[in-house]
Amino acid sequence: MREIIFDTETTGLDPRSGHRLVEIGCVELIDRRESGRTFHAYFHPERDMPAEAEAVHGLSIQFLSDKPLFAERADELLVFLGDAPMVAHNAAFDFGFVNAELERAGRPPLDMARMCCTVQMARKLHPGAKHSLDALCTRYGIDRSHRVKHGALLDAELLAHLYIEMTGGRQIGLGLAAGTNISGRTTVILPGTATAPSRPFREPRPHAATPAELARHAEFVATLHQPLWHDSP
């Protein structure tokens, strides 16, 4: 199964207010393992960079001044994404910005049915806890010491590790049969359940003690001093 873990950086919070996408980072998973393939790009936003946004991701308009427009790399991005499910932290935010840029570039929007949100997953798994990427990395023991500022590819890589842990970890199968539940998470099917694979019948092996073993046991019990079962009720 192919999945894309991705993150974006922007000039603000709402594309409907004129804010733009300035960075995207994508990590490919195959069967819940990183394949090594990524997509990463910076984009010129065609506007200024608010100081509060720059404080979050460190991307100045000077740095972005020679970067391509989103439309120039839109097709390359769409080829990388393919039709795979797409996983993001607070996914509605990232999908909103990507689709706004695709619309500007004259490309079809991403199908929202492809969206998987790790914030929503975390709320179900850990109700009442903090659900930021930093907090969840701490909960799952994922090293984020190299994360000084937000960065789309770095955050996508951290999210890939987090997503794998939130969906059962790398050893989820342990050689047992695997299935998929309605949330899309892989689950282990234990032997003896209705959905377990059929196995050849094996005759039960005898486990009765031999006369010699029974005799040795009786000799041992006779050596016990005041055994509990001799106590009066």
Q: What percent of the chain has pLDDT over 70?
A: 82
Active-site residue, selected from the candidate residues 44, 150, 207, 225: 150
Strands 115-117 and 2-10: unpaired
Range 5-11 average pLDDT: 98
- Other CB atoms closer than 10 Å to residue 47's CB: what's the count? 13
Q: What percent of the chain has pLDDT over 90?
A: 68
215 Cβ contact partners less than 8 Å away, ≥ 6 residues apart: none
- Other CB atoms closer than 10 Å to residue 23's CB: what's the count? 22
7 touches 24 (CB < 8 A): yes
pLDDT (tens digit per residue) in 84-136: 999 999 999 999 999 999 999 999 999 999 999 999 999 999 999 999 999 99
pLDDT (tens digit per residue) in 29-49: 999 999 999 999 999 999 999
Residue 80 falls inside a structural domain: yes
pLDDT for position 175: 41
126 in catalytic set: no
With bands split at pLDDT 50, 70 and 90, how would you rate the model's confidence at 77? very high
Residue 211 falls inside a structural domain: no
Residue 187 falls inside a structural domain: no
Q: Residue 103 belongs to what domain range?
A: 2-172
pLDDT for position 88: 98
Residue 188 has pLDDT above 50, yes or no: no
- State the DSSP string of the chain: -EEEEEEEEESSS-GGGT--EEEEEEEEEETTEEEEEEEEEE---SS---HHHHHHH---HHHHTTSPPHHHHHHHHHHHHTT--EEETTHHHHHHHHHHHHHHTT-PPPPGGGEEEHHHHHHHHSTTS--SHHHHHHHTT---TT-SS--HHHHHHHHHHHHHHHTT-TTSSTTSEEEE-TTS-EEEE-TTSTTSPP----PPPP-PPPHHHHHHHHHHHHT-SS-GGGS--
pLDDT for position 198: 55
Question: Who has greater pLDDT, 172 or 120?
Answer: 120
Residue 24 falls inside a structural domain: yes
Residue 182 falls inside a structural domain: no
Residue 126 falls inside a structural domain: yes
Question: Who has greater pLDDT, 158 or 181?
Answer: 158
Domain count, the chain: 1
Residue 178 falls inside a structural domain: no
Give the residue carrying structure tokens 């804010």. 19
Annotated binding site for a divalent metal cation: 7, 9, 155
CATH number, residue 159:
3.30.420.10
Annotated binding site: 7, 9, 52, 57, 155
Residue 10 falls inside a structural domain: yes
Annotated binding site for substrate: 7, 9, 52, 57, 155
- Other CB atoms closer than 10 Å to residue 35's CB: what's the count? 11
